[in-house]
Every structure is written in structure tokens, then in C-alpha cells.
Amino acid sequence: MNERFERLLARAEALIDRIEAILPQPLCAPDWSASVAFRYRKRGAHGVLEPVRHVAAIRLDDLQAIDDQKAKVQRNLERFVRGVPANNVLLTGARGTGKSSLIKACLNAYAGEGLRLIEVDKADLTDLPDIVEVVAPRPERFLVFCDDLSFEEGEPGYKALKSILDGSVAAASPNVLICATSNRRHLLPEKMRDNLAATYGDDGELHPGEAVEEKVSLSERFGLWVSFYPFSQDEYLAVVRQWLAAYGVPEAQWDEARRAALVWALERGARSGRVAYQFARDWAGRTPTEGA
């Protein structure tokens, strides 16, 4: 009888262990001294804040042709790290123009003043309240960063982000700022049929339909909007020269590289900081026998 009871007990304990393994667990704080940047990752049902071992070393001076955008974001972050009111940030616009690079550069610039970054994927935005709860008691200032953010209708992270930005009964933690980048200004797909529900007042005033109001409401909860635009040819070439210099390419090659950089951009159908960076890497890595 005792042996049978012990076998049943062992099976019960094994079953409990298996159930506990798949049940959601409270988010545990990481070693905050391990890095200045962290990624939130899901491991089954459990969320984990993982330190980023190799943070991108980009500097604010490395970013060219976006001086106005840099100034706006810097002013806001300087207020944030000083502990005075600052706005959540939405960076929108043309691809490859430096939106996410600007956030990385700001982290490096202000990490010494206590700024930390937590990168969260769109699929994990429903866990934002748990992340905020873990970091709220900390003395550091946390930038919760979601890159390339956009939603399709019905995705759960949309409501979670709206709530944490401005809508929950709980006040946002003063040491947390939300920052997102997106190619969409309003983060949701906009369709022609949304305009069919628009109405007109007696004085001709246009009143958007509920679908349009809903799509605009999320982006409006970001207090600071910063727009990025496609580069002109001169801006693109200035960024190319900056990256060529960073890779140690001699000035004697710049005229030849200029022509090749224009062809490179034409082949990719875009002039942007990303295209300029990719060209400079390619050019700096060429051997003399490869030529242009």
C-alpha cells in the first residue's frame, strides 16, 4: 500500500510540475547591471527580460540629414532623464531614414544619465503592464521601444498599447516612456470604405466615421510625433560620405564612390540613410580587383 501511495504521489508531483511549467509566471527582474538595453522575450508562457550583450554603437553625430528630428527627440528625452514631464514618442515616415537608429543613438548618449531601453515586439505588447510593474520601482528611466509598429484589425496588442499610453485607470509610471517607429502615421491600415461613414453638418463641417476615429485614436495618444522624409540626392550623398569616412575610405576615392552610390540608390529605388550605409559597407569591403 505504501509503495502504491508513493507512486501515485510521485505522479501527482510530476503532473503539478508540468502544469506549473505552462502556467503564466510573474515577470522576474533581470540583472539591471548587465546592460543598458534589454529585450522582452516569451519563453513558452513565461516572459523574460534579456540583457542585450552588444548594443549598437551608433552615435548622434553619425546621423546626418535629420537634424530637426534629432533636436525634437533629444529635447524630449533630456526632459525625461531629468525627471520632468515628457511625451511618448511616435516616429513615422519613409523607410531607412534613421528612425530606429535615432533611438539607439539617444540610448548611447543618455545611458550615463540613467536611460535604459527595453525592446518589445508587437506580438508581446499585451504584456506591457507586467513590464511596467517590474521597472516602476527602479531609479533608472526606461524607454520601452517597439520598432516597425503597425497593426492589422483585431490584433490584441493594439488595445493593450492604447491602454498603457492613456486610458488605463492606473496612472503611467513616471520612469517609463513609450517610443515606437512606424511607416504608417496612424498605425492601422486605412481603407476607402472607412470614409463612407463620414457625415456632414449643416454648415458643411466634416465628421469622420467611427472607423476613422478609432484608427486615429492610437497615434493621438503619442504626445510627440516626429516625421521622417525621403532624402534628396545631396542629403543622400552627404550620408554616403559620412559613412565612407567612418570606414576609413580615402578621400581620393570619394568622387568615384559618388557615381557608384547614385547607381546603387537607383537600383534600389530609394535614397535613404540605410541605402547609404549599405553602399558604404559594400564599397569599403571591395578589393582593388573588384573595381566599381
Specify whether 264 is located in the same domain as 215. Answer: no
| Mean pLDDT value of segment 77-96 | 92
* Position 247 in a domain: yes
Residues 172 and 66 placed together within one structural domain of the fold: yes
Tell which wins on pLDDT, 206 or 14.
14
Q: At what angle do helices 128-135 and 156-166 cross, to 10 degrees?
A: 40
- Joined grid coordinates for residue 263: 547607381
pLDDT band of residue 22 (cuts 50, 70, 90) is low
Mark whether 126 and 194 lie in a shared domain: yes
d(CA 120, CA 127): 9
| pLDDT digit string, tens, across residues 275-292 | 999 999 999 998 555 555
Range of the structural domain that residue 276 is part of: 233-285
What is the count of structural domains for the chain?
2
Same-domain check for residues 237 and 173: no
Task: Write the pLDDT tens digit of every residue in 125-146.
Answer: 888 888 989 999 999 999 999 9
Residue 205 and residue 64 share a domain: yes
Tell me, yes or no, whether 1 lies in a domain.
Answer: no
So what's the pLDDT on residue 211? 46
Pair 223, 249 in one domain:
no
Amino acid in position 148 = D
Do 224 and 271 sit in the same domain of this protein? no
| Between 159 and 246, the higher pLDDT residue | 246
- Per-residue pLDDT averaged across 51-69, rounded? 92
Task: List Cβ neighbours of 137 (8 Å cut-off, separation of 6 or more).
Answer: none
Per-chain mean pLDDT for the chain? 82
In a domain, 156, yes or no: yes
In a domain, 292, yes or no: no
72 and 90 both lie in a single domain: yes
Is 0.85 surpassed by the pTM of this model? no
191 and 279 co-located in one domain: no
Query: Cα separation of 107 and 94, whole Å?
Result: 22
